[in-house]
Chains A and B, each alone.
Chain A
Amino acid sequence: MTRTTCKHVEAAVAAHVNSELSEDERAAIAVHLDVCESCRELAEVWQALPEVTREATLEPLTDELEQRLLRMEGGAPVDGPSTRSRPSAALLFALAAAVVLALGITIWLTLGSDPSNDEVGDPALVASTEARAGDPLVDDQGQNQLQPDAPDRRVLDIGPGIRIVVDDTAGIGLDGPGENPLAERVALERGCALVEVEAGDDGVELFLETPSGVVVAREAVFSVEVAASETAWIEVVEGLVYALDSDGEEIHARLSAGEHASLDDLRSGTTPVTTGEDGADPNVAKLELQPGPVELEPTLDELLKQARAHRKARDFARATASYERLITSYPGSAAARTSLVALGQMELGSMGRAGSALSHFEAYLDAAPGGALAEEARAGKVRALARLSRTRGLIRAVSDYLRAHPGGRATSEMLRRRADAHRRLGSCAEAIRDYRRVVDRWPGSTEAELAAKGLDACSTAP
């Protein structure tokens, strides 16, 4: 921005407060805001708008409508009073089940023995798919409230106050109390499980064994997902959950409500603690320990927020770190792919790191050559190559863009850049052909002006 007037600032003030402008533009606007009160006021308004729209009180809904909207089930409003006492658990289960479905895991369901259940035909099986009215996980019709129409959902009554909800993709085995009458043991080989453990007078604990470690809970609601890589992820809704080694001997860390981590991460980040010297039950004694804080892997949501906040504060180094962590921690996710393009554009536009930007655009194109942002990635790749003066690569990249996006929005720029590249290589005939296409098809545009200058340069070239 060479000349900063109020009109210029008004056009760019929103982008300015969102840190979307280049360093030069930002500096020019900052100078103007220092001296222009009305523009400064407008910038303050744009700065405050997100908070107003997110925080200002909404008009209240009628009680009837609110109740109806809050009792949506399976896509339709449900009449009648709700009886759910642990609704937050449902969210995690729904999300976890969705993740499992996305992973496409083919899993078995194995049910181990539970001596306390004599009513099941096979004494080794304890699965109770018949929900009971009054249970937190069922409604007053005795249906599993998580997915009333889903026949694949099972509510397993493991013992007093312990319920596990799984779908038929989960591989779960019930080991029973074993030697310790106060410990119920369950093995989750694969898939997702939503677990509720209620503290009772008898103090029974749940030991949930996964391929990568053991999870212990006395009073908690949490979900466990064992991925195809056998990494176990835990997310706690209520209460506390403890993580042990796969042999159950050492505590690594505990997770509180709202925390989320994989057992592998907890293992690598915590010093093992040995306990049980007082002769008490070693497993119970370990639960009383409170190991030091553990750095947990931020969630995808947290990483996105961090990246945005850093970018907004023009702390590009940290924004880059957040984006890169998101890309490596959640590979294959749509957010990770979007982050590749966002990161590439930030590096190209604000950080002057064309090489790194190029690699991110190429990574997106490798992952999703036909994705929603493929055109932006291909155009970004061409711009990065231009910045790096990689002329031949640029010509190939432009051809790739034109082939993949006929009629694309950056076609004129791509043609002009290819013509520039040909001119630099001394191929004036090809350059003139592309320049003329730009001049003829987009007369009066900036690209046409640049192309006209290129034509002049070709005509004067030796």
Chain B
Amino acid sequence: MEQLARWCLPRVRRTIVLSCGYGPDTEDLTQLVMTRVFAKLDTFRGEARFFTWVDQVAINAVRNHVTKKHRVFLMPTSDDARTLEPVDWETPERALEQRRLLGHLAGHFAAIRPKRRLPLVLSVLHGYSVPEIAAIMGISFDAAKKRLQRGRQDLTARLKRDPRCRDAIREFVR
């Protein structure tokens, strides 16, 4: 079970961080999702990939959290953009800079409306196609496609206004 938790935990955390940002409730939500995964393990029917099922549990929990309670942990401010300095990924501070970039990026995601944000997270983070997103979220193909498209446009607009974030992202993969 511990190994199972070790495999699931980073994936669940990334889903939550990108969907909700870092905040006081992040850890509670992580624990909630992990608890649900293990409580519902017996209901996993083997019809989907195991991690797809985990993602579905996570995204449902996140959806309940952010849409019903209108919670967003982290909203980026204009100051946040200035906190991202040009970085050298080869320095010993690499991990720290990566955390900062991911948190900053999570802020951009958090500013997007939840209906658009969650398909965007599933697409960007986990690489799901539109039919898969529709299946995971239990919405129609057209709805998934439209929400993903709008989420992408929202994120593009935000990234366009944040040159340092763009540089940091491009630098990350070099």
Contacts and interface: CB of A to CB of B under 8 A. Distances in A.
A342 to B, nearest CB: 5
A313 interface: no
Given A77-B31, A301-B49, A338 B132 contact: yes
Contacts, number: 201
A77 B105 CA distance: 30
B140 A375 contact: yes
Contacts of B44: 94-95, 98
Contacts of B36: 75
B134 A376 contact: yes
A433 B124 CA distance: 44
Interface stretch (B64-72, B77-85, B93-101, B110-118): B93-101
Given A42-B156, A45-B159, A101-B45, A52 B173 contact: yes
A52 B105 contact: yes
- A contact residues, range: 35 or more
A52 B99 CA distance: 10
Nearest to B28: A65
Contact of A68 (B22, B31, B160): B31
B25 interface: no
B2 interface: yes
Given A51-B173, A61-B27, A308-B129, A70 B135 contact: no
Given A13-B156, A58-B13, A73-B38, A338 B131 contact: yes
B134 A373 contact: yes
A326 to B, nearest CB: 11
A41 interface: yes
A98 B37 CA distance: 14
B131 A44 contact: no
A334 interface: yes
A53 B38 contact: no
Interface residues of B, number: 71
A47 B132 CA distance: 20
Contact of B152 (A14, A62, A311, A373): A14
Contact of B102 (A57, A335, A345): A57
Contacts of A53: 14, 18, 102, 105, 124-125
A62 B13 CA distance: 13
Contacts of B6: 70, 87
B123 to A, nearest CB: 7
B87 to A, nearest CB: 11
Mostly helix, strand, loop or mixed at chain B's interface? helix
Contacts of A376: 131, 134, 140-142
A164 to B, nearest CB: 19
Contacts of B47: 102, 332-335
Contacts of B95: 57
A373 B141 CA distance: 7
B135 A373 contact: yes
B66 to A, nearest CB: 18
Contact of A91 (B3, B156, B157): B3
A33 interface: no
Interface in A1-41: 10-11, 13-15, 18, 20, 41
A58 B38 contact: no
Contacts of B40: 75
B34 A72 contact: yes
Interface of B: 1-7, 9-10, 13-14, 17-18, 22, 27, 30-31, 34-42, 44-52, 94-95, 98-99, 101-103, 105, 123-125, 127, 129-132, 134-135, 138, 140-143, 149, 152-153, 155-157, 159-160, 166, 169-170, 172-173
Interface of A: 10-11, 13-15, 18, 20, 41-42, 44-59, 61-62, 65-66, 68-77, 82, 84, 87-88, 90-91, 94-95, 98-99, 101-102, 145-146, 300-301, 304, 308, 311, 332-335, 338, 341-342, 345, 372-373, 375-376, 409-410
The 10 A-B pairs with the shortest beta carbon distances in the complex, nearest first, are A75-B39, A87-B3, A376-B141, A99-B46, A14-B152, A56-B102, A56-B98, A88-B3, A57-B98, A409-B142
Given A72-B37, A101-B45, 14 more contacts: A18-B123, A41-B170, A48-B169, A50-B127, A53-B105, A72-B38, A74-B39, A91-B3, A91-B7, A99-B46, A338-B132, A342-B132, A373-B134, A376-B140
